[in-house]
Structure 1
Amino acid sequence: MKSIDKNVVMLGWVSYFTDMATAMIQPILPLFIVLILHEGMDKLGFIVAVATFVSYAMRLISGYLSDRYGIVKPFVVAGYGLSTLTKPLIGFTTNYQQITVLQSLERLGKGLRSAPKDLMIAAYSKKNASGKTFGFHKMLDIAGELSGTLILFALLALFGQSESVMRNIFYATLIPGMIGLVLMIFFVRDTPKPSQHVSLKFTFSEKDKQTIKALFVYFFFVFFMFSNAFFTVQAKEIGIATALIPLLFVVSTGIQTATSYIIGSWIDKVGVKRIMMFAYLSGVISQILLYLQNPLSTWFAFAFMGLFTVASLNANRAYIADTAQNKGSVYGVFYAGVALFGAVGAYIGGVIWEYFGMHTALGYSLTGTLVMLVLFGLAVRNGK
């Protein structure tokens, strides 16, 4: 890890504390919506869809402006600040419309910072070590999620799972969020500014277009894949106690923390395609395990979801760093694609669940991810 730039290390710690705050509410937010506010699965799907979709345009804009005008750190700071301030406000909500607005603002913050942040990591990556660098950053990122989930589990175990406890947990996310924001402002150096401004006229290079084209299989896989919120509600539906649900996320984030740097190193050694095949296979296995609908298989489903998440994100981020010319803009397209396809997929999945049942929604998701795995395997075999 000596090859990791100190700015990447500090960015990792920024993500650590920010994701700690996110993980403190992620496992309980769907339950808060469905069980405390008594909203349906279609409403949960709507919240996930709108919150994800809202970040679509911002990811494109922030990535584009980062490339054109060297506006990098200000976007990252603003994005972390917006996310930090909106999470605690969820504790004051009384209906799904209010949560939709706050989650949309939180995702807007993530959209504002995502592409510029990856541009910073790519800028500080050493030659032939992009996979390792992104793997290191993701390791601290997921370690923050793991810490936040363990904090959540401890709080639920000590104080119970009442509405007031959940609302106090939302308020408490301000603490780690502010720590991450302070680190970002004072301890991460901005990337060098371009020597002069360039015209707003802009087109993707051929390298950029080829990179974006290769990302579409991943976009469609995300479209069919169950979101974290649906994983959570499925666990509750099959009888896993609310107090234990944070431990499911511990399994997922623990797997990601333990494997992120290793997978990043493998990307540099064996290539992106093999790691993506591993990621897609892990995603399909997680859907199969959910489809079995029993508590033991759900625990393993969360583990394979973790493998899918860490392998696919590290591989795609490293791939863009190595192949794209206008990296900030392509990172913007990447995150926008994930947001758009994830949003539409979540809404459709939520409607299917609400009106046709969990089993049908699981079958739909499994079929879609399996088809995308086969298509990717055929493309790799044919050398595309």
Structure 2
Amino acid sequence: MKITSLNRNIIALGANSFFTDFSTEMILPLLPIFLERFLHASKSEIGLIEGMAEFGVAMLIALSGFYSDRLGKRKGITVFGYGMSNLIKPLAFFAQSATMIAMIRIGDRLAKGVRVAPRDALISAYTPKEISGFVFGFHKMMDGAGALAGSLTAFGVLWFWGESESSFRTVFAISLIPGLISMMILIFLVTDVPFTPVSIRRFRPEALPAPFYYLVVFQSLFSLFAMNYSFMLLKAENNGIALVMIPLAYALYNLTQSAFAIPIGKAADRFGKPVLLSFIYLAFGLGALAMTTGSTLGVWLGFGIYGFFAGGFNALAKAIISDTAPQELKATAYGVYYTAVGITTLISLTGAGWLWDHYGSNIPFIIASASSLVLAIALLYMRRRFTHLSAI
């Protein structure tokens, strides 16, 4: 399957994601450091901000997904969500406190919550089941490529203008440009796929198949013990990486994420998505373990492996949902999935910050590494529960 055989809407949605992630990832690798160094936030506060942001996105994904299925349309809600996000993020330029950053971060994630489920359902509508892993892998590759461009831009600004607070704020302001480009692509190049709306007035859990819920359980348990990019970035500084080099380490993460997204998707279509997902869990565990060495080499290895993990974690989950959920409930299914993962992520990030402040930087990573290994083995053992999703 060649990229040129993809539906033009899939390619346009990929380009939209490229420029949105270009904008977002100019900011994200700098935000935890900005909070800690210039706004004097603690690790617990940073963890709480990230956790609340992820929880907010999860709650709105569920609502927007259900509303999208009731409305019978996808694009309008998707445009609104992308528009909110791309206008809110650059406001970090004006932030004078951790509270202001928290409001911006949560606002951005709420906007993501509005768009994700209908966008994924829109992608799914243009995706044949036999290549769903490849299609969502392509979309993840475009995410990663945009993120790479954004993190390299942030590195370039810090390299040429120094590590001052004004340089950080300059990056935040520039992020508006690729955000506006992404909106133009979405508005003018993506066609909606109207369908007969779901007739139920409320969501019935039994309307979704059992394999979907196995996925939700595993992904939620994994998210309960893992941590996101913010603690990886803080750990990089803790391990002795110079501040100006941190966006470059983040760029390595985005490079490996983009490079492996399509191969992971193709392998999942061939060998089974649950099997590949178990290897993704294992990769995260190895990356977290590398970060505990306290060395700069461990940081570079950790970010490289973390990129491989990110190339498959949500893309494989979305492909499984695309394969199993009925057309009229796809956005609802994505909403249920992200809600469960968001709740456990809130608990995870808040707990990781508290553990760091009280027991040191290695403890959250050791816990994440051990739990990832256990869940990888358990998922591989239970893969036949997913047999009718994909080949084993």
| Range of TM-score over shorter length | over 0.9
Partner of 1:71: 73
Q: Percent identity?
A: 33
Are the structure 2 counterparts of residues 361 and 126 from structure 1 closer, same or farther at C-alpha, using a change threshold of 3 Å? closer
What amino acid sits opposite 1:147 in the alignment? A
Partner of 1:378: 381
Contact 1:34 1:40 in 2 (8 A): yes
| Alignment partners' CA distance in 1, 2:177 and 2:207 | 45
| Alignment partners' CA distance in 1, 2:342 and 2:365 | 21
Alignment pair present for 1:361 and 2:364? yes
Are the structure 2 counterparts of residues 170 and 383 from structure 1 closer, same or farther at C-alpha, using a change threshold of 3 Å? closer
How far residue 363 of structure 1 moved from its aligned partner, in angstroms, is 2.4
Partner of 2:320: 319
Which residue of 318, 334, 338 corresponds with 2:341?
338
How far residue 205 of structure 1 moved from its aligned partner, in angstroms, is 4.2
Which residue of 42, 45, 60 corresponds with 1:40?
42
Partner of 1:166: 168
Partner of 2:225: 224
Contact 1:208 1:330 in 2 (8 A): no
| Alignment partners' CA distance in 1, 2:120 and 2:381 | 30
1:97-135 Cα distance to aligned partner (Å, 9 max, x none): 111111111000111111111100000113411111111
Cα RMSD, aligned residues only: 1.7
Partner of 2:153: 151
Q: Which runs of 5+ in 2 are unaligned?
A: 388-392
1:290-332 Cα distance to aligned partner (Å, 9 max, x none): 1212110110111111111111222111111111122111111
Partner of 2:237: 236
Alignment pair present for 1:15 and 2:17? yes
Contact 1:65 1:71 in 2 (8 A): no
Q: Which runs of 5+ in 1 are unaligned?
A: none
Which residue of 347, 350, 363 corresponds with 2:350?
347
SS at match of 2:130: coil
Match runs of 1:110-121 below 5 Å: 110-121=112-123
Partner of 2:87: 85
SS at match of 1:129: helix
Alignment pair present for 1:2 and 2:11? no
How far residue 201 of structure 1 moved from its aligned partner, in angstroms, is 3.7
What amino acid sits opposite 1:335 in the alignment? Y
Are the structure 2 counterparts of residues 65 and 381 from structure 1 closer, same or farther at C-alpha, using a change threshold of 3 Å? closer
Name the TM-score, length of structure 2 as normaliser: 0.94
1:64-94 Cα distance to aligned partner (Å, 9 max, x none): 1122221311111111111111111111111
Partner of 2:268: 267
Partner of 1:310: 311
1:26-84 Cα distance to aligned partner (Å, 9 max, x none): 11100000011111111101110111111222110111112222131111111111111
Contact 1:18 1:84 in 2 (8 A): yes
SS at match of 2:313: helix
Contact 1:219 1:341 in 2 (8 A): yes
Which region of structure 1 is more displaced relative to structure 2, 327-336 or 198-207?
198-207
Are the structure 2 counterparts of residues 202 and 332 from structure 1 closer, same or farther at C-alpha, using a change threshold of 3 Å? closer
Name the TM-score, length of structure 1 as normaliser: 0.95
Contact 1:80 1:181 in 2 (8 A): yes
| Alignment partners' CA distance in 1, 2:82 and 2:157 | 25
Contact 2:290 2:301 in 1 (8 A): yes
What amino acid sits opposite 2:106 in the alignment? S
Partner of 1:126: 128
1:205-263 Cα distance to aligned partner (Å, 9 max, x none): 45434312322112111221121000000000111001111111111111111111121
Partner of 1:96: 98
| Alignment partners' CA distance in 2, 1:216 and 1:242 | 37
Partner of 1:140: 142
Contact 2:65 2:335 in 1 (8 A): yes
Which residue of 54, 57, 61 corresponds with 2:56?
54
How far residue 381 of structure 1 moved from its aligned partner, in angstroms, is 7.6
1:138-186 Cα distance to aligned partner (Å, 9 max, x none): 1111110011111111111111110011011111111110110111111
| Alignment partners' CA distance in 2, 1:276 and 1:370 | 12
How far residue 197 of structure 1 moved from its aligned partner, in angstroms, is 6.9
How far residue 275 of structure 1 moved from its aligned partner, in angstroms, is 0.7
SS at match of 1:161: coil
SS at match of 2:193: coil
Partner of 2:390: none
Partner of 2:256: 255
Contact 2:69 2:198 in 1 (8 A): no
SS at match of 2:311: helix
| Alignment partners' CA distance in 1, 2:279 and 2:180 | 36
Contact 1:17 1:144 in 2 (8 A): yes
What amino acid sits opposite 1:62 in the alignment? S
What amino acid sits opposite 1:360 in the alignment? I
| Alignment partners' CA distance in 2, 1:202 and 1:359 | 42
| Alignment partners' CA distance in 2, 1:308 and 1:192 | 34
Partner of 2:296: 295
How far residue 14 of structure 1 moved from its aligned partner, in angstroms, is 0.5
What amino acid sits opposite 1:309 in the alignment? A
Alignment pair present for 1:328 and 2:328? no
